[in-house]
A and B are shown apart, each in its own frame.
Chain A
Amino acid sequence: MLFNSLEYFIFLPIMFVLYWFVFNKKVKVQNALVLVGSYYFYGLWDWRFLFLILASTFVDYFVGIMMEKNEDQRKKQKLWLWVSVVFNISLLGFFKYYNFFVDSFVDMFQLLGYQIKSTWTLQIILPVGISFYTFQTMSYSLDVYYKRIKPCHDFLSFATFVAFFPQLVAGPIERASDLLHQITNKRTFNYDQTAAGLKLILWGLFKKLVIADAIAPIVDDIFMNYETYSASTLILGVTLFSFQVYGDFSGYSDIAIGTSKMFGVELMSNFKFPNFSRNVAEYWQRWHVSLSTWFRHYIYIPLGGSRVSKLRAIRNICVIFLVSGFWHGANWTFIFWGGFHALAYIPVFLMGRNAIYKDSVVGENSFFPSLTELGQLILTFAIVTFSRIFFRSASLTDSFHFIGRIFNNFSYEHYVHPNGYRMVDYYILLAAFVLYEYRIRKDERSPFKFKSKAVRFVAYTLVIFTMLLFYDSGFDRSFIYFQF
């Protein structure tokens, strides 16, 4: 079930009414409803893969209990932790990476001059959300192991924590220490929380339907036919893709966080206006925050983080970015994308500027950014956008050809979409979007934070009106991050 589908707009109010009016007496019945609803939500896509979620749930629940039983035996606890890690990574490895490894193995042998006819690749469907929920269940076992939380003895609550429908298929990837206690305690209705949730859903829908979906056909055209377009058009294409992927994923996250609020559960922010980052390090503090946090807590810090020698710290940075790239997809393009970001991050780290913008936003004390900040924003956006060539291209060869066309033969050509789209509409839209996001940049959870009720009302109306202006019923409206 997609967040931007009619089914969801029927499902959500029914769940909401049942949750607060019928199943509101005890936490157990609240969780039972959410669990059944979550399995239904997921099962509509493909019910067979519910067994994977159930398996992951059982394994990590059991691992938690066993770790507690062996409280004084750290070695045994570590063994149980490995059970969780190996099981979840195996699920991911088989469903997401099996064919990639087989193909890469065959390619490597061909490079060495051996011809292998591969018959090992399989027709495997990638289960939606597998990268997200396996990481979430692993986070539980890791948190229990590191004694950040006590193991959960209520299977119903634990299963609800794993399958919580707002964030089941594309995050935010919650750490057990943040989410589980909210699930085990009874939720009570709060008007302000629900209203804030509805506003986030509206803003998320806007980003998905207007920013991402409206631009998508243009991006698709440019990337599919990049060999026929001039350098200026290719730059336009990748710039628009930067907005598309941001609108798509941050839109999804906002709807997830907003929906969750409606059920009295707070999820972490996943996007904090990454387009207003002043360097690559700040970008990673603002883009897909839940994944960055996961990697930082469970890989980067255990490896020693930055509190080791410079050389080892650089190694840790490389590990994190390469793993992050690989997490996104079983394709060398994503590994290159991760590697590129590592290369962009290391100089910032070596200059000691990787944490300087942690607690501030651009134009912190003024309405406009300073000229220096503006330069920083443009440079960071350019670096990030350039990296998206790898992210969007079908293969590494395509990526390099795309880059080659930009640098080897730079020329300007007015872009005309084959369907004759009026491009100026999109330029005005994006300019207005960037200005509006700049206006609200200090609080990603309150996109309609205006003192005056009238101004708020005008903003709601304009957002919905713009959605109507750019709605395209002929477009496939699934989310980009579902493929990860």
Chain B
Amino acid sequence: MKKLVKNLIIYTVLILVSLEILVRIFYLGEDKPSRFVDEKRVEKWVPNQEGYSVTGNRNQNFIRYKINNSGFNSYQEYVSTQDGIEVALVGDSFIEGFHQPYKISIGRKVEQKLDDKIKVFEYGYSGYDMADQLHLIKAYKKDFDLIDRVYIKLKFSNDLGRGEYYVQESRLNLESPMNKLLKKSKLLIYFSEIGVVDPVKDLIKDLRDMVRGVEVKKAEKKETDSDDSMYLENFKSLVKLYGYDKKKTVLLMDETNTSKMFLDYLDENGFQHIDFGKAINNSKRKTTLVYDRHWNNYGRSIIADIIVSDMEKTGLVNSTGK
């Protein structure tokens, strides 16, 4: 039995070390950038980081990211000017674009479609909701005042869960010393990415709930009218707290799965909004990545077309400028 235990330990350690080496050689585990909260209480990436974002098994989405001086993934630095045309895209991971080369991001596609006559600044960050987004715009008011048009990506049922901004500690806990230590192992990161550790996490959570006596409700939560009302109230509260420039701000939404109550409210109160749902959902070609629900190159082109078309409609750019 001693021999078995000894051999099991030796083999386990050696195999783990070998796997760590293999994962590094084949670059399977992504480079996790560091996050922080800046002096204006805005959560963002630590500026000037570079690395590779990897999604799915076997390196199927292997993309270089580049965090600029403002703390967002982009090929360019954000310098707003009085005379040029600048557009901002504010949103979550779909705008952040760790799943796409930053050189062909949605913003870059928009710029190219308009012959680089405008600049598009992408303020995307995984997990941003409406509170994060409006707080960011208010915190960097000086910069945003110089921007000519702002597109905010909004998922009604996800992004209006709170009516006031506060720093999300749960996300920042990912920067704890323990997590930083764990992030040094590419193997662990890969395990986490492909879902190997999910059953372990679930088990720990179930055990914790069991010890605390919490009844676990596994049924999926259904959206109700009262939820819609709550989201709408949160939206009103955020607008009131952080301000909202109705003239130049546009909500970019999948209106096919957005509450009618909310859409009616937007129309009645002069909030501009555009829909990408029909174009994405009716596309004959696949618009998302393999093993991932984020937009692929084609999906991003559709979104860029919608934005360009909106800018042309409003006269910010003219169609002959293309």
Q: A residues touching B (Cβ–Cβ < 8 Å)?
A: 5-6, 20, 189, 191, 194-195, 418-422, 425, 457, 460-461, 464-465, 468-474
B190 near A468: Cβ-Cβ < 8 Å: yes
A460 near B15: Cβ-Cβ < 8 Å: yes
Q: How far is it, in angstroms, between the C-alpha of A53 and the C-alpha of B316 when the chains are bound?
A: 76
A469 near B195: Cβ-Cβ < 8 Å: no
6 contacts between A and B (CB under 8 A): A191-B3, A191-B4, A419-B286, A457-B11, A469-B28, A472-B57
How big is chain B's contact interface, by range?
20 to 34
B290 near A420: Cβ-Cβ < 8 Å: yes
A419 near B195: Cβ-Cβ < 8 Å: no
**Which of B4, B19, B198, B290 is within 8 Å of A468, CB to CB?**
B19
A460 near B57: Cβ-Cβ < 8 Å: no
Q: B residues touching A (Cβ–Cβ < 8 Å)?
A: 1, 3-4, 7, 11, 14-15, 18-19, 22-23, 28, 57-58, 60, 190-191, 194-196, 198-200, 203, 286, 289-291
Report B-chain residues with C-beta under 8 Å of the C-beta of A421.
290
Report B-chain residues with C-beta under 8 Å of the C-beta of A474.
195
Q: How far is it, in angstroms, between the C-alpha of A20 and the C-alpha of B23 when the chains are bound?
A: 36
Q: How far is it, in angstroms, between the C-alpha of A474 and the C-alpha of B291 when the chains are bound?
A: 9
Q: How far is it, in angstroms, between the C-alpha of A420 and the C-alpha of B190 when the chains are bound?
A: 21
From DSSP, what is the main secondary structure of chain A's interface residues?
A: helix
With known contacts A6-B200, A474-B195, A465–B58 Cβ distance under 8 A: no
CB-nearest residue of chain A to B203: A6
Other CB < 8 Å A-B pairs besides A5-B199, A191-B4, 10 of them?
Answer: A422-B58, A461-B15, A461-B22, A464-B15, A465-B22, A468-B191, A468-B194, A469-B28, A471-B57, A473-B196
The 10 closest A-B pairs by CB, nearest first: A473-B195, A6-B199, A420-B290, A461-B18, A469-B58, A465-B22, A191-B3, A461-B15, A471-B194, A469-B57
Report A-chain residues with C-beta under 8 Å of the C-beta of B7.
195
Q: How far is it, in angstroms, between the C-alpha of A469 and the C-alpha of B193 when the chains are bound?
A: 12
**Which of A195, A422, A465, A473 is within 8 Å of B19, CB to CB?**
A465
A429 → chain B closest CB, angstroms: 10
Report B-chain residues with C-beta under 8 Å of the C-beta of A419.
286, 290-291
Q: How many A-B residue pairs have CB under 8 A?
A: 61
CB-nearest residue of chain B to A20: B1
Q: How far is it, in angstroms, between the C-alpha of A468 and the C-alpha of B198 when the chains are bound?
A: 14
CB-nearest residue of chain A to B22: A465
With known contacts A461-B15, A461-B22, A465-B22, A473–B290 Cβ distance under 8 A: no
B60 near A422: Cβ-Cβ < 8 Å: yes
A471 near B290: Cβ-Cβ < 8 Å: no
Q: How far is it, in angstroms, between the C-alpha of A230 and the C-alpha of B195 when the chains are bound?
A: 34
Report A-chain residues with C-beta under 8 Å of the C-beta of B291.
419
Report B-chain residues with C-beta under 8 Å of the C-beta of A425.
58
With known contacts A6-B203, A189-B1, A457–B194 Cβ distance under 8 A: no
Q: How far is it, in angstroms, between the C-alpha of A191 and the C-alpha of B23 when the chains are bound?
A: 32
CB-nearest residue of chain A to B289: A420
B198 near A473: Cβ-Cβ < 8 Å: yes
Q: How far is it, in angstroms, between the C-alpha of A194 and the C-alpha of B28 when the chains are bound?
A: 33
Report A-chain residues with C-beta under 8 Å of the C-beta of B191.
468
Report A-chain residues with C-beta under 8 Å of the C-beta of B286.
418-420
Q: Which among B14, B191, B194 has the greatest number of chain A C-beta atoms within 10 A?
A: B194
Q: How far is it, in angstroms, between the C-alpha of A464 and the C-alpha of B191 when the chains are bound?
A: 12
A430 → chain B closest CB, angstroms: 15
With known contacts A191-B4, A419-B290, A461-B15, A473–B200 Cβ distance under 8 A: no
B11 near A460: Cβ-Cβ < 8 Å: yes
Report A-chain residues with C-beta under 8 Å of the C-beta of B196.
468, 471, 473
Q: How far is it, in angstroms, between the C-alpha of A457 and the C-alpha of B14 when the chains are bound?
A: 9
Q: How far is it, in angstroms, between the C-alpha of A464 and the C-alpha of B200 when the chains are bound?
A: 18
Q: How far is it, in angstroms, between the C-alpha of A400 and the C-alpha of B289 when the chains are bound?
A: 35
Q: Which among B4, B14, B195 has the greatest number of chain A C-beta atoms within 10 A?
A: B4
A5 → chain B closest CB, angstroms: 7
A470 near B57: Cβ-Cβ < 8 Å: yes
Q: How far is it, in angstroms, between the C-alpha of A316 and the C-alpha of B7 when the chains are bound?
A: 51
Q: How far is it, in angstroms, between the C-alpha of A419 and the C-alpha of B286 when the chains are bound?
A: 8
Report B-chain residues with C-beta under 8 Å of the C-beta of A422.
58, 60, 290
Report A-chain residues with C-beta under 8 Å of the C-beta of B14.
457
B115 → chain A closest CB, angstroms: 32
Report A-chain residues with C-beta under 8 Å of the C-beta of B4.
191, 194-195
B161 → chain A closest CB, angstroms: 25
CB-nearest residue of chain B to A465: B22
CB-nearest residue of chain A to B21: A461
Q: How far is it, in angstroms, between the C-alpha of A20 and the C-alpha of B1 when the chains are bound?
A: 9
Q: How far is it, in angstroms, between the C-alpha of A468 and the C-alpha of B1 when the chains are bound?
A: 29
CB-nearest residue of chain A to B187: A468
CB-nearest residue of chain B to A419: B290
B203 near A464: Cβ-Cβ < 8 Å: no
Report B-chain residues with C-beta under 8 Å of the C-beta of A464.
15, 19
With known contacts A6-B199, A418-B286, A460-B11, A473–B194 Cβ distance under 8 A: yes
